[in-house]
Amino acid sequence: MPVVDLRRYREMLDTALAGHYAYPAINVLEIATLNAAIEGFATAKSDGIVQISIAAGRHTSGALDDAVLGAITLAEHAHRLAERYDINVAVHSDHCPTSQVDTFLRPLIEETARRRAAGAPNLFNSHMYDGSDLPMAENLDRAVELLQLCAENGILLEVEAGVVGGEEDGLNREDVPSAKLYTTPEDMALAHERLSAVATGGFMLAATFGNVHGVYKPGSVALKPEILRDGQTAVVERFGEEARLRLVFHGGSGSSIEDIHASIDYGVVKMNIHTDTQYAFTRGVADHMLKHYDEVLKVDGEVGVKQSYLASTWLDRGRASMAARVVDACEALRSAGKTLGRRSPNAG
């Protein structure tokens, strides 16, 4: 199977929750960064998640500027690539705000439905609906509707409760009041109550605890992992131990390893990584360009060195640099060496 099915995906997340580790969810923008993400997972012997944003879909489709077409293209490549590795890879679509549900999220679900009807595997394993721009009750109303649609097609849904500050992929929340950066225990309990009512649905919750998208020096992000602890306590006290939430950590750049590990211990099973891996890719490219500037440029009437300015050469440098950063992420999140392997979910 090219990528995981629903049963294996649930097993991945439940095993991580019980084992106190999390999967790196690497945002990919085109083929080279997608290759780097899966290469990094394989090197670390970690299962992992590749995720595709609206911006990535638009970029991959080139001049067509078609987010759905680009996202499908990347997802299809992930299927083919993952088939060659002995790890589990899930494919996820990242932040879809309410305003773009009908133009991005629903068409991707429809594509998976079309494939399932033809006997093919799911294109995407999970999607993220970001309704944090709405009041909590309305956010959950929309989320429940989407979760029902996802459940019909063997897809998990990620829902955000609270607001991740900063800016990413055109979503600018740099001026959000600080109080909204922290999800309350009441909101976490309400999210569980509403979403678990969808009998066959599976979901993850992106609860916020001070996390901010963007680039920050270590220690400059004021995380409060105890927010997650208190929320989980409220959920378990009200609904029982089996209700413990599978949480998602957004905006981790600049977070200390202590805060990352605390968040994992409180239920984070998926941590989104975008800024750091994109920088690693660019760093590899820049290193090549600066060391070989007189080969990649035709300086003083010379002809340059074709092997140095070939796009495949410098893209490979970026891919290798990013793959190494993905390995670091697996080690930090404790998933390194813990792949479930490609055995059948029914195997003993």
Residue 134: partners with Cβ closer than 8 Å, 6 or more residues away: 98, 142
Pairwise pLDDT comparison (211 vs 261), residue with the higher score: 261
Query: Is the separation of the CB atoms in 78 and 50 below 8 Å?
Result: yes
CA dist., res. 54 & res. 56, Å (int): 5
| H/E segment holding residue 263 | helix 257-265
> How many other CB atoms are found less than 10 A from the CB of residue 126?
24
Residue 86: partners with Cβ closer than 8 Å, 6 or more residues away: 42, 339, 341, 342
Give the pLDDT score at 182.
85
Taking residues 39-48, report their average pLDDT.
Answer: 98
pLDDT at 178 over 90: no
Q: Which of 5, 47, 66, 94 is catalytic?
A: 94
Residue 1 — very low, low, confident or very high, per pLDDT cuts 50/70/90?
A: very low
Give the pLDDT score at 221.
56
Give the pLDDT score at 169.
54
pLDDT tens digits, 281-326: 999 999 999 999 999 999 999 999 999 999 999 999 999 999 999 9
What percentage of the chain has pLDDT greater than the value 90? Answer: 81
Query: Is the separation of the CB atoms in 208 and 250 below 8 Å?
Result: yes
Q: What is the pTM of this model?
A: 0.91
Residue 2 — very low, low, confident or very high, per pLDDT cuts 50/70/90?
A: low
Q: Average per-residue pLDDT in the chain?
A: 91
Give the pLDDT score at 162.
73
Taking residues 157-168, report their average pLDDT.
Answer: 70
Give the pLDDT score at 255.
80
Query: Is the separation of the CB atoms in 202 and 188 below 8 Å?
Result: no
pLDDT at 54 over 60: yes
Beta bridge partners of 203: 157
Domain boundaries, the chain: 6-282+323-332
CA 83 to chain centre: 20
Maximum Cα interatomic distance, the chain, rounded to a whole number of Å: 75
Residue 345 — very low, low, confident or very high, per pLDDT cuts 50/70/90?
A: very low
Helix axes 136-152, 185-196, angle to 10 degrees: 30
Query: Is the separation of the CB atoms in 260 and 333 below 8 Å?
Result: yes
Contacts by 192-197, CB closer than 8 A, 24 or more apart: 192/235, 192/239, 192/243, 192/245, 193/239, 194/140, 194/143, 194/144, 195/140, 195/143, 195/144, 195/147, 195/157, 195/159, 196/239, 196/243, 197/144
pLDDT tens digits, 205-223: 999 888 765 555 555 557 8
CATH fold, domain 6-282+323-332, is TIM Barrel (3.20.20)
**By three-state DSSP, how is residue 312 classified?**
helix
94: annotated active-site residue:
yes
Burial of 226-241, coded b for 16+ CB within 10 Å and e otherwise, reads ebbbbbbebbbeeeee
The amino acid at 159: V
| H/E segment holding residue 126 | strand 126-130
